[in-house]
Amino acid sequence: MRLALHWTLTALAAAALLGGCGGSDGAETVNGCAIEPSTSCPNADLSGADLQGADLSRASLSGANLTETNLSGANLTEANLTGAQIVDADLSDADLTSANLTGATITGTNLDGATLCGTSRTDGTIDDTSCPASTDTDETDTDETETTTEASEAEVTSFELSELDCGSATTGPVTVTWETENATAVEIAVDTASPSGQGPSGSTTVVVACDGEPHAITITPQSDAGPGVPKTEEVSSDQ
């Protein structure tokens, strides 16, 4: 009877030890916390545990004690680590993409090589330090922008002047009518006078001297890319 009791107690002790190392599906457990993806172990005591390379993606570990825990190379993507105690731990080469560290205490912890992309820092701000750069896309966008700028250069497509009818006056009106393409405005100048701004298409009246000499009326299209090619027409009185 004593021998049978001895073997029974030994078996129970062995079973208890195994229960601390494996979950119902064979996953490793530490202090009752299954070390597996999407595990839920709020306030768990994982201090000093060797969890190198563990897959704890989407794990709920809020308030967990991770003091001196080895999580080097661990997958902690989207893990909830809010309020966790991460003191003197090893998180080198760990993947913390989209992990939430808001309110966590992190001191003396090795974060060399850790992936930080969309990671919530302890103060709630986002850390994108390790997000991949998109230099190829930027170069393509620059080429497309340059092509668009060249294609959208402002130009005058139609430019007409009415006749200058002076009569006995010393100056007379001339009606200027124009149309443009890709322009946001135009500037119209008579001879060397300061140009006046106008819309990209329309009609306006300018005053020209009735002295029998030809006078140049110039229209210059404008756009965000700068001035386009100006066009000039001449008008003169019959004096």
CATH code (residue 74): 2.160.20.80
**What is the residue whose two structure tokens read 């490793």?**
28
- Co-location of 164 and 223 in the same domain: yes
Mean pLDDT score of the chain, rounded to an integer? Answer: 84
Query: Which domain-ending residue is among 130, 165, 188?
Result: 130
- Co-location of 199 and 106 in the same domain: no
Report yes or no on 21 lying in a domain. Answer: no
Q: How many angstroms from the chain centroid is the CA of residue 46?
A: 37
**What is the residue whose two structure tokens read 């930027």?**
138
Q: What is the pLDDT of residues 188-206, one digit of tens each?
A: 999 888 888 899 899 999 9
Report yes or no on 144 lying in a domain. Answer: no
d(Cα 100, Cα 116) in Å, to the nearest integer?
11
Report yes or no on 162 lying in a domain. Answer: yes
Q: What is the pLDDT of residues 170-183, one digit of tens each?
A: 888 889 999 999 99
Share of residues in the chain with pLDDT > 70 (%) = 81
In our burial notation (b when 16+ CB lie closer than 10 A, e otherwise), range 151-184 reads eebbebeebebeebebeeeeebebebebebbbbe
Check pLDDT > 60 for residue 3. Answer: no
Looking at the structure of the chain, the number of domains it has is 2
Instruction: Say what the pLDDT of residue 153 is.
Output: 87
Q: Name residues whose C-beta falls within 8 Å of residue 116's C-beta, 6 or more positions apart in sequence.
A: 96, 97, 127, 128, 129, 130
Range of lowest pLDDT (36-45, 54-63, 97-106, 220-229): 220-229
What would the mean pLDDT of 1-19 be, rounded to a whole number?
A: 41
Instruction: Say what the pLDDT of residue 89 is.
Output: 96
Check pLDDT > 60 for residue 115. Answer: yes
Report yes or no on 35 lying in a domain. Answer: yes
- Co-location of 97 and 169 in the same domain: no
Q: How many angstroms from the chain centroid is the CA of residue 198?
A: 38
Q: What is the pTM of this model?
A: 0.49
- Residue 13 — pLDDT band, cuts 50, 70, 90? very low
Check pLDDT > 90 for residue 187. Answer: yes
- H-helix or E-strand spanning residue 199: none
- Co-location of 97 and 44 in the same domain: yes
- Co-location of 117 and 161 in the same domain: no
What would the mean pLDDT of 120-124 be, rounded to a whole number?
A: 92
- Structural domain including 178 reads 155-235
- Co-location of 57 and 123 in the same domain: yes
Burial class (CB within 10 angstroms; exposed 0-12, middle 13-18, buried 19+) of 49 = buried
Report yes or no on 17 lying in a domain. Answer: no
Q: What is the pLDDT of residues 39-85, one digit of tens each?
A: 999 999 999 999 999 999 999 999 999 999 999 999 999 999 999 99
Q: Name residues whose C-beta falls within 8 Å of residue 137's C-beta, 6 or more positions apart in sequence.
A: none
Closest CA to 153 of 232, 221, 231: 221
Which spans in 20-151 are helix H? 135-151
Q: Which residues pair with 155 in a beta bridge?
A: 181
